[in-house]
Structure 1
Amino acid sequence: MSVIVEFSLDSPRLNLHGATTTVPGVTVDVESVDADVDGGVKTMAWAVGGCLDAFDDALRADPTTTDVVLIDDLPDRRLYNYRTSEQSEVQLYTDWLELGAAQLHVECQDGTWFQRVRFPDRDALAEFESTCETEDISFTLHRIYGDPGSAEPDPLTDAQREALRLGLDCGYLDVPRTGSLSVVADELGISEQSASERLRRATRNLAADALADATQN
């Protein structure tokens, strides 16, 4: 039986430790992680809050990253693409793939990675914990979902749920569309770009959760 696990990882050997400890007010919210044709790992992630100019410098100077590309530059956040460099001491992405785990949410702040991951079973979770111990990474378990009688976690944040509700109410999510994104943005008090991003994240989380359940069944 699969389990969804919320935990944190802490070690100076982990990726982005230098960048996120240099500018601790910034949160790195991972959008996607993929293996490239050269066998490396490419990450797309948002940098949110704090001094983004200082973080831009710190990210490019971080020895665990290379080929850093700024994709979007918004007033309160920036979207980056970067590759994990050969100087990275620990690369857990291949471990996720081998264990059959699915990353549902990944973010980093001040050197600590906070994650929500679906493991195919408790054996896979135990193996991942063993990997962390071998790599001298501090693993802190916060919560496990999936045991008999336990509730599944909500795939949406409160902000994402509110954005979806407004999108439905105003007709923005209708097919064909009968409402405007500006209505959702105005109600939330954010920019249209931020509203669109929040709706996309909510849709992605719901899709990932549904596909994970379908795979399990």
Structure 2
Amino acid sequence: MTITTEFSLSSPSLPLVSITERLPPDQIECVHGLCFEQDARMFIVKIDSEVNVSEADLESLDEVQEATTIGYAGEQTVHNLTIDLDDAISDVFSGGSSVAAKLEPTVVTPDGWYERKVYKDRDAFMESRTRCENHGISLDLISMTSTSAASDDSIPFGLTERQYEALTLALSRGYYESPRQTSTEELATELGISQPSLSRLLRRGERQLLSSALQTQEHLNTVSN
């Protein structure tokens, strides 16, 4: 039984966070990181093109050894960054990890990293969590769901349990009314999570709902034609 998790990581030593702290973008996407050396790693990051961050801007940051602009992906500029890793972070990256698969790009904000991963079981996730915390990286679990048939059947439209909970609460509290009857801060407090985490849950849940609806409509149009 695999486990799908959503969580945030925070530590002063996390790479890439300085980009959102010192340059205009309030968040970036990290597609993946490749091992380069023991104390360095190559990251592929995406930044909204309208922000207009240059190679020189990126290389002005202490942790960035080298920045190369690769091109564009939709409305985002893709950069190849070689990052100088802190010793503790390097140990986490190179010290081996539990079997896990990243489902979406890592989202980096001034608060840290947001990730969505699948682990082979709960023990594998707990091992990964303990390793992070032993190296000074705080892990805040947002949601954990299993892939059992019961959980898949109980939540519609491919939503995670936490996304469904957040959307249901937002709808019941009048968040989608005009004018809105509540705020993301109030919803986050009620769920016991941070406001950025709540916003991500709503955004990803809304995208999943739209994706499911549009795919269904496309199917219906095909049948009717």
Q: State the TM-score, normalized to the length of structure 1.
A: 0.61
Matched, 1:19 2:69: no
- Partners of 2:114 and 2:55 lie apart in 1 by 21
Quote how far apart the aligned CAs of 1:159 are.
9.4
1:31–1:43 Cα contact (<8 Å) kept:
yes
Partner of 1:93: helix, strand, or coil?
helix
C-alpha spacing 1:8/1:56, structure 2 compared with 1 (3 Å): farther
* 1:83 counterpart residue number: 82
- Partners of 2:208 and 2:98 lie apart in 1 by 30
Quote how far apart the aligned CAs of 1:43 are.
1.7
Matched, 1:146 2:196: no
Quote how far apart the aligned CAs of 1:63 are.
2.9
1:143-165 residue CA offsets vs partner (Å, 9 max, x unmatched): 11216532385599449938x95
1:28–1:45 Cα contact (<8 Å) kept:
yes
* 2:48 counterpart residue number: 48
2:132–2:139 Cα contact (<8 Å) kept:
yes
Matches within 5 A, 1:1-217: 1-23=1-23, 25-36=25-36, 38=37, 40-48=40-48, 51-53=51-53, 56-72=55-71, 76-87=75-86, 89-91=88-90, 92-94=92-94, 98-105=97-104, 106-146=106-146, 148=148, 149-151=150-152, 157-158=207-208, 161=211, 165=215
1:169-217 residue CA offsets vs partner (Å, 9 max, x unmatched): 8xxxxxxxxxxxxxxxxxxxxxxxxxxxxxxxxxxxxxxxxxxxxxxxx
Q: State the TM-score, normalized to the length of structure 2.
A: 0.59
- Partners of 2:117 and 2:29 lie apart in 1 by 15
* 2:168 counterpart residue number: none
- Partners of 1:56 and 1:22 lie apart in 2 by 14
- Partners of 1:68 and 1:129 lie apart in 2 by 30
Unaligned 5+ segments in structure 1 are 170-217
Quote how far apart the aligned CAs of 1:29 are.
1.0
Unaligned 5+ segments in structure 2 are 161-203, 220-225
- Partners of 1:124 and 1:24 lie apart in 2 by 37
Q: What fraction of aligned residue pairs are identical, expressed as a percent?
A: 19
Quote how far apart the aligned CAs of 1:24 are.
5.9
